[in-house]
């Protein structure tokens, strides 16, 4: 809306009354939909934005979607096991991401970024291997913690954490 | 102390380079009077005779080499503990530092020989040589007949068609360290040699090291213990000049040879800490993981369709193999079966029930993932003490049985009849599948020398592969513990005999013959296992070196072209499906 002021200048005014300001924090379901489409690294960054985003981004369902959305067919019956062993977020951080980034890099031969992981189709065997390693991780934490679970990654999977010149 | 040492080293460097240049030129020796002190060094405060200059230069170079390659811990004590009585006597204190370094270098946890040179401070030698005086030991070195390496039969060190003044090179040894002044003919001999020598690095010292080790083994085989003793000390000295895997392997082999020569066998039971050491080995390199994953895949396939399964594990240790199997069983489309695990282990020296603790942890895991689980532990000194009836195995219509052994079966070969008894018990268990993983090497030959050579080749490759994964993993302790784990095996293969020698590895071909004649048919491991194993290896840093090879249904994991371990699966002959 253009206003003509007394001194002859022209100015534009904010049209505040016409459309309400859209604030993403008021629309959690939209936020969730957006976050579902992110890759792991971005999801992690999203968790650092504010408390509310952190709460949403840490929701295991989001990470479950991230883990298996490109696996075809999606493995069934996996959820209770994964949840019991520490949850999808841990599965992704400790096993899936390093496994897939290493194997992906070896196959393609390029240093793909995290976003490449998202688009890549993961084979059933890669998923199985990751799950097995995840279970070993849980067991090692059992062994090491003297019966109680510690949060630190188990030693046998340390090789996955280190950068590799592939 | 550090600054003083640096300053001294700096001076050392300059005199070494100066002397080295001078020695090569051989000019100034004629220009200066023989008995005088070197003037340039005298200005700096060191009294070194001109005639001694080449020796001092050599020692300084060795000191520099040794300091460069010795582990950190080995030299820090030099700063505070070494006492130099006469710093201006450059030759003397360099020598004392050299012998101190040699005292510190090898990393064994046995009280074995740690001082490998006949330096002035070789106190440890006296313990082992029945109270001989130090002077006697020096006599050994000055005795030409012991040291003339042409006297060694066989082509290990010296090819008879090459005449050289090797003898004179060795004679120049006064009271101090040996100078490896062999000439280049030795390198040529090595290149022409048809023996499968492990050439880990191409430097002369590395080749000499291997040849000295083999010569020492030959001497031991021929019961020429005096010569063997001298050679083993020489090995220690040469080993210090190497770096990395070669040095560690040489040190362990030298120690094992020394134990054999002096007949000092490890007193403490080898079972102490063996679990912990194996855990570190598990974490450092893929061999055990490969073993577990491939065996599990075979077992999983054999258990397809069964509602109750029973695994008998001859090598429970910490139970690291079973979480992955339990997880795979839990995620079966038809749901998990009831899973019984019988674990067999040796008695613990501190009387703790290690088996039950492992069983408890596995039970916790099983409960978490929703698998019905029962654990039984059996303590046995040897697998041959067991009987199928003790294990409460239910008939095969009710449960499917698998027998699993990782690096355990070869121990039975130490006692005659034990292997046959165990194979018979396995058959009595009526297993659906028998899986075992063994080292792919023949360390059970009739003659010591052939065992030694095989072991040298095998463990050099093993240590090489560890070294490459050690580069990318920051946890140095894991690497050292894995090396100690392997070092114990080396010690057993080389130093022990009879029922004590339990590391009687045999090749896959030999195992195949044995299983065949015992009434077992091979089960092929299949492409799933191969793919999973390849993926697992691809994850490991330094993964370029590891190779999975399929060998007539069995899978072998090796480092470059050398297979190191082999997984195989068997069923009762006659097709028991």
Q: Is-contact B208 B238, C-beta < 8 A?
A: yes
Tell me the C-alpha distance between B221 and A73, whole Å. 63
Residues 6+ apart with CB under 8 A from B470: B284, B476, B479
Tell me the average pLDDT across A94-110. Answer: 68
C-alpha closest to that of B122 among B108, B138, B111:
B138
Contact flag B324-A158 (C-beta cutoff 8 Å): no
Q: Which residue has the tokens 């505070």?
A: B80
Task: List the single residue in B319, B532, B539 with the smallest CB-CB distance to A159.
Answer: B539
Per-residue pLDDT of chain B (577 residues; tens, 9 = 90+): 444 444 444 444 444 444 444 444 444 444 444 456 777 777 667 777 777 777 778 777 777 776 665 544 555 555 555 565 666 677 777 777 777 666 544 433 333 333 333 333 322 332 233 333 333 333 333 334 444 444 444 444 444 333 333 333 333 333 333 333 333 334 334 344 445 544 444 467 788 888 999 999 999 999 888 898 899 888 888 888 877 788 889 999 999 999 998 888 776 555 667 888 888 888 888 899 999 999 999 999 999 989 999 999 998 988 999 999 999 999 888 889 999 999 998 888 777 788 898 999 999 999 999 999 999 999 888 888 888 888 888 887 889 999 999 999 999 999 999 999 999 999 999 999 999 999 999 999 989 999 999 999 999 999 988 887 655 554 577 788 888 999 999 999 999 888 888 899 999 999 999 999 999 999 999 888 998 898 888 877 555 788 899 999 999 999 988 999 999 999 998 754 4
Does B538 contact chain A (CB < 8 Å)? yes
Dmax of chain B from CA atoms?
A: 97
Where does the pLDDT of residue A79 fall: very low under 50, low under 70, confident under 90, or very high at 90 and above?
Answer: confident
CA distance A25 to chain B (A): 37
CA distance B290 to chain A (A): 12
Contact flag A85-B532 (C-beta cutoff 8 Å): no
Q: Mutate which of A71, A78, A105, A135 to test chain B, going by most B C-beta atoms within 10 A? A: A135
Q: Is-contact A150 A144, C-beta < 8 A?
A: yes
* Residue A109 backbone dihedrals phi, psi, to 5 degrees: 90, 5
CA distance A56 to chain B (A): 26
Does B535 contact chain A (CB < 8 Å)? yes
Query: Regarding beta strands B338-345 and B308-313, do their DSSP bridges make them parallel or antiparallel, or are they unpaired?
Result: parallel
The pLDDT tens digits of the residues spanning B121-172 come to: 322 332 233 333 333 333 333 334 444 444 444 444 444 333 333 333 333 3
CA distance A102 to chain B (A): 6
Cα B402 versus chain centre, distance: 32
Query: Regarding beta strands B373-379 and B338-345, do their DSSP bridges make them parallel or antiparallel, or are they unpaired?
Result: parallel
CA distance A156 to chain B (A): 4
Contact flag A98-B539 (C-beta cutoff 8 Å): yes
Q: Which chain A residues are Cβ-neighbours of B534 within 8 angstroms?
A: none
A101 to chain B: closest CA residue: B539
Q: Mutate which of A128, A130, A141, A165 to test chain B, going by most B C-beta atoms within 10 A? A: A128
Half-sphere exposure of B495 (CA within 13 A, CB side): 23
Task: List the single residue in A80, A85, A162 with the smallest CB-CB distance to B472.
Answer: A162
Tell me the C-alpha distance between B315 and B118, whole Å. 44
Query: What is the enclosing helix (H) or strand (E) of B564?
Result: strand B562-572
Residues 6+ apart with CB under 8 A from B122: B99, B115, B134, B137
Decide: helix, strand or coil at residue B180: coil
Q: Which chain A residues are Cβ-neighbours of B285 within 8 angstroms?
A: none
A73 cis-preceded (ω within 30 degrees of 0): yes
Contact flag B361-A159 (C-beta cutoff 8 Å): no
Among residues 343-382 of chain B, which lie with CB inside 8 Å of chain A?
A: 361-362, 364-365, 368-370
Among residues 231-290 of chain B, which lie with CB inside 8 Å of chain A?
A: 282-283, 289
Q: Is-contact B167 B150, C-beta < 8 A?
A: yes
Does A34 contact chain B (CB < 8 Å)? no
Contact flag B532-A80 (C-beta cutoff 8 Å): no
CA distance A45 to chain B (A): 26
Q: Is-contact B505 B439, C-beta < 8 A?
A: yes
Q: Mutate which of A131, A143, A154 to test chain B, going by most B C-beta atoms within 10 A? A: A143
Q: Is-contact B402 B434, C-beta < 8 A?
A: yes
Does A161 contact chain B (CB < 8 Å)? no
Instruction: Read off the pTM.
Output: 0.68
Task: List the single residue in B283, B289, B330 with the smallest CB-CB distance to A158.
Answer: B283
Does A71 contact chain B (CB < 8 Å)? no
């Amino acid at each position: 809306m253009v206003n003509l002021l007394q001194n002859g200048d022209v100015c534009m005014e904010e049209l505040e009354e016409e459309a309400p300001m859209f604030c993403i924090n008021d629309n959690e379901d939209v936020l969730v939909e957006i976050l579902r489409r992110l890759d792991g690294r971005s999801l992690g960054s999203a968790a650092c934005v504010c408390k509310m985003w952190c709460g949403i981004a840490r929701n295991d369902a989001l990470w479950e979607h991230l883990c298996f959305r490109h696996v075809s067919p999606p493995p069934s019956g996996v959820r209770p096991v994964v949840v019991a062993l520490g949850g999808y977020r841990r599965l992704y951080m400790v096993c899936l991401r390093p496994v897939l980034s290493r194997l992906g890099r070896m196959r393609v031969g390029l240093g793909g970024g995290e976003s490449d992981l998202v688009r890549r189709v993961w084979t059933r065997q890669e998923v199985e291997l990751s799950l097995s390693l995840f279970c070993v991780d849980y067991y090692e934490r059992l062994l090491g913690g003297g019966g109680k679970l510690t949060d630190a990654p188990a030693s046998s999977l340390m090789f996955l954490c280190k950068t590799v010149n592939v | 102390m550090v600054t003083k040492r640096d300053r001294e080293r700096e001076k050392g460097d300059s005199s070494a380079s100066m002397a080295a240049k001078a020695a090569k030129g051989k000019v100034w020796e004629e220009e200066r009077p023989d008995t005088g002190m070197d003037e340039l060094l005298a200005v700096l405060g060191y009294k070194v005779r001109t005639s001694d200059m080449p020796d001092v230069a050599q020692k300084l170079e060795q000191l520099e080499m040794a300091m460069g390659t010795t582990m950190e811990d080995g030299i820090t004590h030099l700063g505070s503990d070494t006492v130099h009585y006469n710093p201006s006597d450059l030759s003397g204190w360099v020598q004392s530092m050299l012998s101190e370094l040699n005292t510190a270098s090898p990393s064994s946890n046995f009280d074995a020989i740690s001082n490998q040179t006949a330096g002035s401070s070789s106190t440890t030698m006296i313990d082992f040589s029945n109270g001989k005086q130090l002077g006697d030991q020096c006599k050994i070195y000055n005795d030409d007949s012991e040291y003339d390496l042409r006297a060694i039969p066989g082509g290990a060190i010296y090819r008879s068609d090459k005449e050289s003044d090797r003898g004179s090179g060795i004679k120049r040894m006064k009271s101090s360290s040996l100078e490896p002044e062999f000439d280049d003919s030795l390198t040529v001999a090595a290149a022409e040699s048809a023996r499968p020598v492990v050439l880990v690095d191409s430097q002369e010292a590395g080749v000499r090291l291997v040849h000295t080790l083999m010569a020492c083994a030959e001497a031991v085989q021929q019961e020429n213990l005096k010569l063997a003793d001298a050679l083993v000390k020489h090995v220690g000295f040469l080993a210090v000049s190497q770096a990395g895997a070669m040095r560690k392997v040489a040190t362990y082999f030298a120690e094992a040879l020394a134990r054999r020569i002096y007949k000092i066998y490890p007193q403490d039971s080898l079972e102490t800490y063996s679990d912990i050491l194996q855990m570190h080995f598990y974490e450092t390199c893929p061999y055990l993981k490969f073993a577990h994953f491939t065996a599990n895949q075979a077992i999983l396939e054999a258990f397809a369709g069964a509602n109750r399964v029973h695994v008998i594990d001859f090598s429970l240790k910490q139970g690291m193999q079973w979480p992955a199997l339990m997880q795979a069983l839990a995620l079966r489309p038809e749901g998990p079966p009831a899973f019984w695990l019988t674990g067999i282990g040796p008695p613990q020296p501190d009387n703790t029930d290690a088996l039950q603790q492992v069983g408890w942890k596995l039970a916790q895991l099983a409960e978490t993932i929703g698998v019905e689980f029962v654990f039984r532990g059996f303590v046995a000194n040897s697998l041959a003490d067991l009987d199928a009836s003790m294990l409460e195995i239910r008939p095969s219509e009710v449960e499917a049985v698998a027998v699993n052994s990782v690096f355990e079966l070869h121990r039975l070969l130490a006692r005659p009849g034990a292997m046959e008894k165990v194979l018979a018990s396995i058959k009595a268990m009526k297993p659906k599948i028998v899986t075992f993983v063994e080292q792919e090497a023949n360390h059970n030959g009739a003659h010591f020398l052939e065992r030694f050579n095989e072991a040298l080749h095998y463990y050099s490759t093993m240590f090489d592969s560890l070294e490459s994964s050690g580069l990318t993993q920051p946890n140095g302790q894991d690497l050292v513990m894995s090396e100690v784990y392997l070092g114990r095996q080396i010690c057993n293969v080389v130093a022990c005999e009879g029922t004590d020698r339990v590391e009687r590895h045999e090749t896959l071909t030999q195992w195949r013959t044995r299983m065949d004649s015992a009434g077992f048919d091979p089960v092929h491991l299949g492409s799933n296992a191969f793919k999973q194993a390849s993926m697992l290896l691809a994850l490991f840093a330094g993964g370029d070196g590891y190779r999975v090879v399929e060998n007539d249904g069995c899978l072998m994991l090796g480092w470059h072209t050398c297979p190191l371990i082999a997984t195989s699966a068997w069923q009762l002959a006659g097709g028991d499906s």
